[in-house]
Amino acid sequence: MDPVKYKILHENSMQNNNGTSALNVFLHIVPSFFTSFHTIQLISATAIAQIPARFLLEFFLIVFPFVLMVTVLSQLVSNISIALLLITVISSLQQMRHKTHLMPFVQIPGRKPQFITAARALINLMTAICILAVDFRIFPRELAKTESFGFGLMDVGVGLYVFSNGIVYKPDKDQKLNLIRVRSVLLGTLPLIALGVGRFFVTQEIDYQQHVSEYGVHWNFFITLAIVKIAGTFIMDVIKDPEIAKFIAITILCCHEMMLHLGVSRYVLSENTKRSNFVEANREGIASIPGYVALYLASTNVGSVMRPSVEIQPAKKFIKQAIKLSIVAGVCWKMIYVCEDMFGVSRRLANMGYVFWILSIGTTMCALFMYCEVFIYFVRFEEPKSPDQIMKGDDFCIWYIPLIFESINSNGLVFFLGANLLTGLINMVFQTLLLEPPAALTIISYYIFMLCVVTVFMHVNKIRLKIW
């Protein structure tokens, strides 16, 4: 097809999508937790030490199933999720039934929570797969980004990135917001701003297809992350307490929703609004910032709820944290439907419904990984250790994180940047929307395979490109 006509076809295919349901989106995400859980169990049982064998096992049990879930198996996600849930429950009960008397003695280390690493890496992995898969016909259109309101799998990417950054924020009570701190934060976000500006110029130079109603003409994902990181960090430096951050987030969110109803929503979403200046051209990106800042602040509070505050804690206390997080998730799921009836759910506006939607997915997945962690320490119970014994060595910590997750987490931004570059390259080489399902599935699988190979290679060889 003629390149100009294909560009128009590609841009039109991304428009006027009303999405699917919040539950359907979640059912495409949650199977990855179950496959991760069973992969961890299998690697432990088989004691696979060779890196190539472990990598291949993880790829075909965690990564490839998600590729299938968002392509050829998309219509079966409900059945797959129920089947995986039943298998997981039966398997877990079978392993636990003779060890109930050990529960009071089980201890969970608190220095480096592995469940947070797993959740953040999974977010990065799923996003990397979807940003390419969405360019093929094999990817269901209802899972693509929604035009104005609705639920789409592609809508959760930027929100979950903000969430994953917020949950790892650790307040420093001695940190003061002064010129030195401002300079440090601005320099730290400079790479994101550079990536955002660079992406705009590259897409303009090569005439790459772009849906301007996502963020605007000049705005994009990286600039949103940079602005949110700057604003969120400054606010947290002032208030310091994540418990207060929860109330600040609610206040910002309510004010944001009120402004949307007073006319900002009509201004942003109206097709009659021209893009004659910078603000008008990027109204989606600018108008959504308060919502993402509120999401970031709420996520810092979520992180404080689930992150252990001591070097070692009993499993009972850890389970209480997981239950508390589960309750938070339940409230967020209820709020989605309340907000949907009242205001709608919009990624373009990052309104109240969208923020609660992202929090519901993020908190649910983190709670599941918390239950996974306590289960692992329960079934592999060893004699209790004192804090002094734990500080002398790492024997107490059971390192169960899949190699691919660990590798992605150690080079998260590089992994995502590589995914964006490869996605652009593949779209320049192939007219992806015209490819048949077998060819599409082959390209997507090979793309994520090579991306994981490079990331694992960097991790194994201790190459860590931490830009900030």
Mind listing the pLDDT tens digit for each residue in 389-427? 544 444 567 788 999 999 999 998 889 989 989 998 998
The residue type found at 25 is V
Residue at token pair 């931490």: 466
pLDDT in tens, 324-366: 999 999 999 999 999 999 989 999 999 999 999 999 999 999 9
Q: What is the mean pLDDT of residues 41-52?
A: 86
Of 166 and 95, the one with more pLDDT: 166
Residue 176's CB: how many other CB atoms inside 10 A? 10
Question: 223, exposed or middle or buried, with CB in 10 Å at 0-12, 13-18, 19+?
Answer: buried
In a domain, 177, yes or no: yes
Residue 37 exposure: Cα atoms within 13 Å on the Cβ side: 23
Residue 22 lies in a domain: yes
The percentage of the chain sitting over the pLDDT mark of 90, rounded to a whole number, equals 58
Structure-token pair, residue 434: 């015209």
Residue 139 counted as domain residue: yes
Whether the CB-CB separation of 359 and 298 falls below 8 Å is answered with yes
User: Is the residue at 8 inside a domain?
Assistant: yes
Domain that holds residue 15: 3-460
More confident residue, 100 or 464: 464
Nearest to 261 by CA among 351, 383, 391: 351
Mean pLDDT (whole number) for 442-456: 96
**Amino acid at position 290, single letter:** P
Domain count, the chain: 1
Which SS3 state, helix, strand or coil, does residue 107 take?
Answer: strand
**pLDDT value at residue 5:** 76
The amino acid occupying position 305 is: V
SS3 state at 151? strand
Mean confidence (pLDDT) of the chain: 88
Q: What angle do CA 11, 13, 19 make, to 5 degrees?
A: 120
| 325, amino acid identity | L
Could you tell me which of 315, 321, 335, 316 has the C-alpha nearest to residue 366?
321
**pTM for the predicted model, two decimal places:** 0.93
Place of tokens 């301007």: 212
- For residue 384, being part of any structural domain is answered with yes
Contact call for residues 153 and 108 (beta carbons, < 8 A): no
| Assigned token pair, 454 | 């490079």
Pick the most confident of 179-193, 210-224, 245-259, 303-317.
245-259
Expressed in angstroms, the distance from the first to the final Cα of the chain is 43
Residue 75 lies in a domain: yes
Question: For residue 455, is it within any domain?
Answer: yes
Position 467 in a domain: no
